[in-house]
Amino acid sequence: MKKRSILLVEDNPQDEILILRALRKINLANCIDVARDGQQALDYLFCEGEFAARPQDEEPAVVLLDIGLPRLSGLEVLARLRADPRTSLIPVVMLTSSDEERDRLKSYESRANSFVRKPLDFAEFAETVARLGIYWLATNEPIQK
């Protein structure tokens, strides 16, 4: 069985620490790769640039994608992923502070698999992240390639 991983796209270092910590609590910490802006996320997923050496067939089980990102926004990253046949089916969960109806609508229109708002309360936040990790790594059945 191939290595199952999560790609976290998050530019806020504190959020990153808190998310990693929440996943570590359920022993998923070593399955996480982190991209810190939109462009880096695309490079990772298309195995380009600094990730050119990454094996093409190692798709993450899920991409946790923030919306407010430097360089390329989360919505732009999502659109690019969906436009490319190599990545069009990768599960993407928007994980964001935004509760704008507009962002939600845009995300679903671009075929995001889920839209999750980051709760302000840390306990709630940690629990949400943990549930996402377990769900996409253990519960969800991916496409068999």
Of the pair 61, 95, the CB lying nearest another protein is at 95
Other residues' Cβ atoms within 10 Å of the Cβ of residue 92: 26
> What minimum distance in Å lies between the beta carbon of 33 and another protein?
21
> What minimum distance in Å lies between the beta carbon of 102 and another protein?
9
**Binding-site ranges for another protein (CB under 8 A):** 12, 14-15, 17-18, 21, 97-99, 118-123, 125-126
> What minimum distance in Å lies between the beta carbon of 121 and another protein?
6
| Structural contact between residues 42 and 72, judged by C-beta atoms closer than 8 angstroms | yes
Of the pair 18, 134, the CB lying nearest another protein is at 18
Buried b (16+ CB within 10 A) or exposed e, 19-53: bbebbeeeebeeebbbbbbbbbbbbbbbeeeebee
